[in-house]
Every structure is written in C-alpha cells, then in structure tokens.
Amino acid sequence: MEYYLYVYLDPRKAGVFSYGEFTFDHEPFYVGKGHGSRKNHHLYESEIKRGNSSPKVAKIRKLQSLELKPIILEIKHFSDETTAYNEETKLIQMIGSDFISDIKDGPLTNMMITSDSPPSHRGKSYLEIYKTPERAEEQRAKRHAAQLAVGGYFKGGKHTEEVKKKAKDRSKKLQENGGFRLGIAHTDKCKAQMKYIKQISHNPACKLYTITDGEHIYKTAKLNRFCIYNKISESTLRIFYDKNLDCKSGKTKGWKILKSAPIDVVNDKKYARCIFTKEKRA
C-alpha cells in the first residue's frame, strides 16, 4: 500500500512559505498522512456537525462560509507507513503549531504529534486506554468533573433557532450534493469488504451470553442490541469478561457477563426472535 504526506493551504494567504525541502505558495494550516482518499476526509468532517469543533475543522468551515476551499496537495509518497509518520512528524515540527505545547508556535492547526503509530481511542473503554482499573477510574472521574464544571456538554447553553436552521440547511445541502460522501462512489474493493461484513453479520453460528446486573439474569444471542437497549457499553462488558474483572464505574457498573457459549440461532428459535430473556437471580 502506498502512503502520502499531504498539506492543507489557506487560499487567503498567498506568499512564499519554505520549510526544508518544501516550498508552498500559500500558508499551510494542516499536515497529514494517509492513503487513498484520506486527504479529502477533513472536508466531510466539516460538512456534518458531530460535535467536532477542532481548530482544523473550524478553519475549513470558515473558508467554506466565504465560499472558498482549502488547497490540498500531496507532497510526498512512501511505500511504508512508519516512514510516512516520521516525515509527517518532522514537517509538523518544522512548520509549528499553536496547539502542540512541545514544539514551536506556527500556523498549523494540528493538535497531536507522534513518530509512532497514532493512538486510535475510538470505541475503546477507559480501561483499554489507561490499562489499569485505577487509572481508568481516575481519568473518567476527572473528565466527568471537568464537564460538569462547565455546565455539561453544551456548557449550560441551548441551540438557538438560528443554529438549528443552519444545521438543517447544511444537512439539506449535503444530501443534495450526494450525501456524506459528497457523491464519491465506493471502490470495488470497499464494496467487496462491505458485502463480506454483511454476510458474516448474519451468520447463524453465534454465542449465547449469560449476563447479570446483580439483580437479574439475562440471556441473549444479540449482545450489541442488548447493550444498546440497556444503555451499557458492549466493549467494556467484553473487556471485563475477558479479564475476569468486575466493572465498578461508568454506565456499565454492576453489569457482568457470567459466561458465553456457542449457539445456533437458526435451530434455537427462542433467541433468534428476541433480544434477550430475563429472570430473577436466585
């Protein structure tokens, strides 16, 4: 797989901007690494508001509000990911960012710098990220307290009618332009992967989970839907089961998988037709 280094330039700020082997005719405001259509992903982020208000997205939205588009350039290609990350790190350090404390200030909106593979925390529990129950609970409590201190997720405020209208108009415009992918079709490889995932997701050979909340015993062959219904974390439930630990904090506190066993939901109609069964714990 081929990787590339890319930059976003501000079309409003023309000039000569030289950084080592690279010279740009407009000021750079973001440096990234990727493959395929990764360089365009940030445009999709700015089109749909999902709580993302990072400096990078704010800059792109500002340009879009002025009916401008960032200049996107692929500036170097690599045959391996590690080299690409190292080069990305060097260029970010060379240009500088006001949002990274351990490098010089500069025009970039990058908020993280690393020479290693980037830590992806999406979908992970605090335990997965911080490794020990003590650290996980400490970080969860800190973040919860910090959020409460500013009045919750919306900092005590509410969306105005103007903001609601803007969101509605943005969504309508997005659909007219071809949806979230802006009319870009999936590749044949992507379509094949999606077809495979769809096939295995309907595989009748699955597991029957026996779960308790301390008061009741539940049995389900549809763990994902069970967790959504009961508003608990599936990933946390699985991790604590694998490590044979009790969950003592968060929304999954008190819940535990007691055991799991293979089941054929085609022949066992009881669990094929319902999300779960429930009975009083003895």
Instruction: Grade residue 77 by pLDDT with cuts at 50, 70 and 90.
Output: very high
Strands 71-78 and 216-220: unpaired
Length of the chain equals: 282
pLDDT of residue 70: 94
Mean pLDDT of the chain: 81
Is the pLDDT confidence value at 208 over 70? yes
Average pLDDT over residues 21-39: 93
pLDDT of residue 270: 65
Q: Kindly state the greatest CA–CA separation across the chain.
A: 75
Is the pLDDT confidence value at 115 over 70? no
Checking phi first, is residue 259 left (phi over 0); if not, alpha (psi -120 to 50) or beta? beta
105, 98 in Cβ contact below 8 A?
A: yes
Is the pLDDT confidence value at 154 over 60? yes
Q: What percent of the chain has pLDDT over 90?
A: 27
- Return d(Cα 237, Cα 214) in angstroms, integer: 14
Q: Which residue has the tokens 């020479």?
A: 115
Is the pLDDT confidence value at 33 over 80? yes
- Return d(Cα 144, Cα 18) in angstroms, integer: 43
Q: Which residue has the tokens 């925390």?
A: 121
Average pLDDT over residues 209-234: 89
Q: Position 10: which residue type?
A: D
pLDDT of residue 13: 94
Residue 125, burial from CB neighbour count under 10 angstroms (0-12, 13-18, 19+) = buried
Picking from 42, 41, 11, 44, the residue whose alpha carbon sits closest to that of residue 27 is 11
Picking from 105, 129, 109, 36, the residue whose alpha carbon sits closest to that of residue 77 is 36
Q: Name the packing angle between helices 223-230 and 234-242 (round to 10°).
A: 120
pLDDT of residue 242: 83
46, 58 in Cβ contact below 8 A?
A: no
pLDDT of residue 125: 73
Question: What are the residue ranges spanned by the domains of the chain?
Answer: 3-95, 205-280
Average pLDDT over residues 183-205: 66
Instruction: Grade residue 268 by pLDDT with cuts at 50, 70 and 90.
Output: low
Average pLDDT over residues 232-245: 87
